[in-house]
């Protein structure tokens, strides 16, 4: 009898669970179906969005490389047109890269002041990643180094000379060259010495700094 009683109790429990499931399904079934649909649609949508992003980035990359090829082929005006178009409707990082390349192309064409203005605009654009802003500051500084006052160059690049900044070597070189061109040989010597004393200075930058230190020493214009 105990066996039959146990079987009976199990059957009753199964019926109760079945009835509870039916009741729960009748009450919540549409919500469960809706949730399942949301999960499926969401997963599909995420994959579609990822594919769309990749395809847009790839298309913008192709356009950027085509513009670079035009510049290499000495078709500067066509290259600028292609880069300016990419600035307006490019995807991912390519609009910023197009702005940078367009500025360098203007400098190559001799439109140095326009190039400086473009780099300064990029450096001041808070939407642009800080690393690219720093590069824009540095490039503006290089274009200013030969002709501008030291203070103008310093305003662009001196913040990049901190020991933790990966651009510090080039920034110090720009400031040293600017000081040298402006006749401030003491300050030029200080910047070139900072380059020479930095154990992480790239070899080519270090050689140029040492050469200018030798020139300054031979001139006797700085203690």
Whole-number pLDDT of residue 42? 60
For residue 67, pLDDT beyond 90: no
pLDDT digits (tens, 9 = 90+) for 68-119: 888 889 898 998 899 899 888 887 788 888 899 999 999 989 999 999 999 9
Q: Which residues contact 171 (CB under 8 A, 6 or more apart)?
A: 138, 141, 157, 158, 160, 161, 165
Question: 149-198, pLDDT tens digit by residue?
Answer: 999 999 999 999 999 999 999 999 999 999 999 999 999 999 999 999 99
Closest CA to 137 of 117, 123, 155: 123
Among 211, 184, 181, 182, which Cα is nearest to 195's?
A: 211
User: pLDDT digits over 136-155, tens only?
Assistant: 999 999 999 989 999 999 99
Percent composition of the chain: helix, strand, coil (DSSP 3-state, to 5) = 85, 0, 15
Neighbouring C-beta atoms of residue 111, cutoff 10 Å: 16
At 221 the pLDDT is 80
């Amino acid at each position: 009898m105990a066996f039959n009683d146990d079987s009976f109790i199990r059957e009753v429990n199964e019926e109760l669970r079945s009835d509870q499931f039916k009741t729960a399904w009748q009450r919540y079934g549409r919500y469960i179906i809706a949730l399942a649909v949301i999960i499926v649609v969401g997963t599909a949508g995420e994959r579609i969005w990822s594919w769309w992003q990749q395809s847009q980035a790839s298309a913008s990359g192709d356009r950027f490389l085509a513009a670079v090829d035009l510049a290499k082929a000495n078709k500067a005006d066509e290259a600028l047109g292609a880069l300016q178009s990419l600035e307006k409707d490019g995807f991912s990082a390519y609009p910023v890269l197009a702005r940078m390349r367009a500025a360098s192309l203007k400098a190559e064409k001799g439109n140095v002041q326009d190039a400086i203005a473009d780099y300064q605009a990029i450096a001041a654009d808070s939407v642009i990643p800080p690393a690219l802003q720093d590069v824009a500051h540095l490039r503006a500084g290089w274009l200013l180094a030969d002709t501008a006052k030291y203070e103008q160059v310093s305003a662009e690049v001196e913040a990049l000379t901190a020991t933790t900044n990966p651009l510090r070597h080039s920034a110090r070189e720009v400031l040293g060259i600017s000081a040298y061109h402006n006749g401030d040989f003491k300050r030029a010597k200080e910047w070139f010495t900072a380059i020479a004393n930095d154990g992480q200075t790239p070899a080519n930058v270090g050689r140029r700094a040492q050469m200018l230190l030798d020139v300054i020493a031979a001139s006797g214009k700085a203690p």
